[in-house]
Amino acid sequence: MNIILVQIIEWKPDNRSQLTDQHFMPSYRIQHITRYSYPSPVIDGVNQIMLFPIQDALQKVENQELTITESPVIEEFVDYYNNKIGIFSLVQSHQELVIQSNVEVITQPVVFPEDQQPAAEQWQHLRTIDETYPYMDFLKQERFNAKDEILKVIGTTSEETPLVVAQRLSKYINEHFEYRKGVTSVETDIDEIWNLKAGVCQDFAHILLVMLHTAGIPARYVSGYICPKDHELRGEGATHAWVEAYIPFYGWLGIDPTNDCLVSDGHVRLAVGRNFSDCTPVKGTYKGSGEHTLEVSVTIENGIVRPKSQEPPPTFGYTVKKEDVPISNSYRQFMEMQMQQQQ
């Protein structure tokens, strides 16, 4: 999951008071700028971008403009997890690469499952799909030493529905893990997170994924944004991570353990996958110096009335100075540093 420093600018249509709830749906305008700077010219850059918000019944992209240094041709395709991906090359010599996405997304409120089917019937349904596509990919378990402890927390689930179990585990994480910056990185494994009982949103999502998989519930990692409403959620206005659990006879349901809530129209989804690596927004390679600086800024506008900020959007920077580092994208390090600055 990429966590990006964000400035929030909020707006309201002049005629909002004349709109009914049925017609007023959250609309988020998101500007995402990624800038790579190099101390000397580099060549033969090949990059992959995952900057296209998911489109489905709950989320619609009204428009998107994508501009890239030297205007390369972007080849688009859909990956194994149905995320839209772009590939482009920048063969010519350059000392800067700027990728800017301007997108407007409209979200719909989620109708949550009624959860009326008997628990035994729901668990049986999960057992019948655990070796079928796509659920088998979202049930694979990691190796970790704390499995016995996690099993104790999961407890006996036969009398509870999968939805009740998922919400109980989300609540457990929210109550027993401290939201603390700077104690983990994207490489921190599940045992360390479990022992620390602390971390940030990617760690909360990681723990919940492991617990749901152990309980036999398909679950997948989601990267995206929590967009500003009443500032009641951790991670608002920045890229965020949460989980989607498969609920029998319903489908995929977003669960945010960082905030212990079900995901609705305040979350904008960018990508889904098994983990963060499946959802990296920008990555690539090039020929040239391994030293480079990455700067990222994101601006989000929404429909809540607050004074419009005149400040420019904040930019987060990350510099790779060592010449012996792999010549690849530094989004992982950027995400780690940004997450450490979250409150």
Tell me the per-residue pLDDT of 215-261, one tens digit each, with 9 for 90 and over: 999 999 999 888 866 556 676 656 789 999 999 999 999 999 999 99
Q: What is the mean pLDDT of residues 268-289?
A: 90
pLDDT, position 16: 27
Write down all domains in the chain, each with its CATH number in brackets.
6-108+281-339 (2.60.40.2250), 119-278 (3.10.620.30)
pTM: 0.80
In this prediction, residue 173 carries a pLDDT of 97
Mean pLDDT for the stretch of residues 121-144? 94
- The answer to whether 305 and 12 are in contact (CB under 8 A) is yes
- CB 215 within 8 Å of CB 154: yes
Let me know if 183 is exposed, middle or buried by CB neighbors in 10 A (0-12, 13-18, 19+). middle
Exposure b/e, 243-279, CB count within 10 A at least 16 = b: bbbbbbebebbbbbbbbbbbbbbbbbbbbbbbbbebb
pLDDT for residue 18: 33
> In which band, very low, low, confident or very high, does the pLDDT at 325 lie, cut at 50, 70 and 90?
very low
Pair 49, 282: CB distance under 8 Å: yes
Q: What is the mean pLDDT of residues 147-162?
A: 95
Tokens found for residue 235? 């991670």
Query: How high is the pLDDT of residue 96?
Result: 95
Q: Which residue has the tokens 């530094």?
A: 330
Name residue 325's amino acid. Answer: V
What does the pLDDT read at residue 22? 41
Report the pLDDT averaged over residues 310-332: 54
pLDDT at 339 > cutoff 50: no
* Per-residue confidence band for 79, with pLDDT thresholds at 50, 70 and 90: very high
Other Cβ atoms within 10 Å of 162 Cβ, number = 26
Per the listing, tokens 């909020």 go with: 10
CB atoms within 10 A of CB 22: 6
Work out the average pLDDT over 286-308: 75
